[in-house]
Amino acid sequence: MSREKLLAEITKKYEQAYERRTSKSRAILERARRYMPGGDTRISIWFQPYPIWIDKAQGCRFTDVDGHEYIDFHNCYTTMILGHANPKVVDAVREQAARGTALGALIPTVVRWAELICDMVESVDKVRFTNSGSEAVMMALRVARGFTGKDMILKTDGCYHGSYDPVVYPSDATGIPRSAQGDSLIVPYNDKAAAEKAIVENRDRLAAVIVEGAMGATGMIPPRDGYLEFLREVTAENGVLFILDEVISLRLAIGGIQRIYGVRPDLTIMAKIIGGGYPVGAVGGREDIMQLFSPEARKVFHAGTLNANPITATAGVATLEQLTAEEIERINGLGQSFAEGVRAIFARLNIKGQVTGIGSLQNIHFSDKPVVDGKSAQEANKDLLHLFYLAMLERGIFSAARGLYAMSTPMTQKEVDTAVRAVEDVITELKPVIEDIWPELVGQPAMV
């Protein structure tokens, strides 16, 4: 039988087993399809044959509508660092909900929220709130262009910055006008020479370089060999602003990945953990740049009906006040333990799987080449990852379908050990399939 036929057959077997376990999710999807395109409203959570629908979540666990319990390593793409329904967040939100949820003026809690963020992130003198990371990116680029009087943006291949046209990845996505991409340059992530050349050659037109602290959506690929530090230096030397997108990486230390690597960006983009599970984004940074947002300056336009709304601000404060360096350190350790456990299984079972990541954020890939940038991550085997994913779900382990595992503070070594045992079980089960369909993935894993 051909490779394609074998793959189609085995995929069908795994998808059918999944469908048998999730009949209520399927029924909801069918209803959803009547009102929402494809029954979906968020492409990033879709997987074949359809995602589960969730009933309730608490701590590091949730139950789907079919009554199956999962340990949650997805955590809404890393957002829920304190896990779900954290009691202090729930109490604070409940109290605020009774006092008003959307008002025509700010509540004082917003100032505490801004203060917490400015205290935590050293490079952030002032902060401006939005309702999503995508909006924060949009405002960061706008203020960078306003400040420098230049239009061009340099971004890196594989870095994800949300839904705003000029940074959508891949850049040839349907519906993105060419004009939106016209003023941006793309270089590979972790390639210092390419970045330096592009920055120096375009210094008179370049407003900013935007880069993720660690490449999240593409597969949790950390910066290598002083990459962020280098970008900081070269941008400063050439009069170009350095924007660090910490929407995902902020959770890696109090003060974000910029504290780990000792870099001071001009602007930082934040979202996810700072809103405690409610819609949020923020751009923060240097006083002289951020001041352009001030109503008194009237330089850079930024409005938004629900910016810094009372519920998000309250949940944000309740979350950030509970985050300690010790707890972050502990869950970073859990992430490392997960990565080491899974690497040991790949080595023992002689399968070319890799785990990339940093601290509490880890990503599994199947590839015979080291996964180090956008291109190598895209080239990793997605068909095997799909089978692996469905088999992990069957064992009660929920992660992002792209292989991302994010730790949360309600987790202990016990949950990590359970996940590692599930990986062992799944790889043992899939080994004959890998030998048949992907013999190139049999052997000792590449070191990353």
134 counts as binding ligand PLP under rule CB under 6 A: yes
Is 245 labeled as catalytic in the residue annotation? yes
276 counts as binding ligand PLP under rule CB under 6 A: no
Catalytic, out of 245, 261, 278, 389:
245
373 counts as binding ligand PLP under rule CB under 6 A: no
What minimum distance in Å lies between the beta carbon of 211 and ligand PLP? 10
Is 35 labeled as catalytic in the residue annotation? no
Binding residues for ligand PLP, total number by CB under 6 A: 17
Q: Which listed residue (59, 83, 133, 256) binds ligand PLP by CB under 6 A?
A: 133
Do residues 124 and 98 lie in contact, with contact meaning Cβ atoms separated by under 8 Å?
no
Q: Which listed residue (64, 245, 373, 415) binds ligand PLP by CB under 6 A?
A: 245
256 counts as binding ligand PLP under rule CB under 6 A: no
278 counts as binding ligand PLP under rule CB under 6 A: no
162 counts as binding ligand PLP under rule CB under 6 A: yes
Find where tokens 């008003």 sit. 100
Is 272 labeled as catalytic in the residue annotation? yes
161 counts as binding ligand PLP under rule CB under 6 A: yes
What minimum distance in Å lies between the beta carbon of 217 and ligand PLP? 6
Closest-CA residue to 231 (of 291, 271, 187): 187
160 counts as binding ligand PLP under rule CB under 6 A: yes
Residues 327-366 that bind ligand PLP (CB under 6 A): none
Do residues 256 and 121 lie in contact, with contact meaning Cβ atoms separated by under 8 Å?
yes
Q: What are phi and psi of 110, to 5 degrees?
A: -60, -35
Convert residues 32-71 into a mask of x (bound to ligand PLP by CB under 6 A) and - (unbound).
----------------------------------------
132 counts as binding ligand PLP under rule CB under 6 A: yes
Within 8 A by CB and 6+ apart from 124, the residues are 117, 118, 268, 284, 285
Q: Which listed residue (29, 127, 137, 221) binds ligand PLP by CB under 6 A?
A: 137
Active site amino acids: 160, 245, 272
Residues of this chain that bind ligand PLP (CB under 6 A)? 77, 132-134, 137, 160-163, 212, 216-217, 245, 247-248, 271, 281
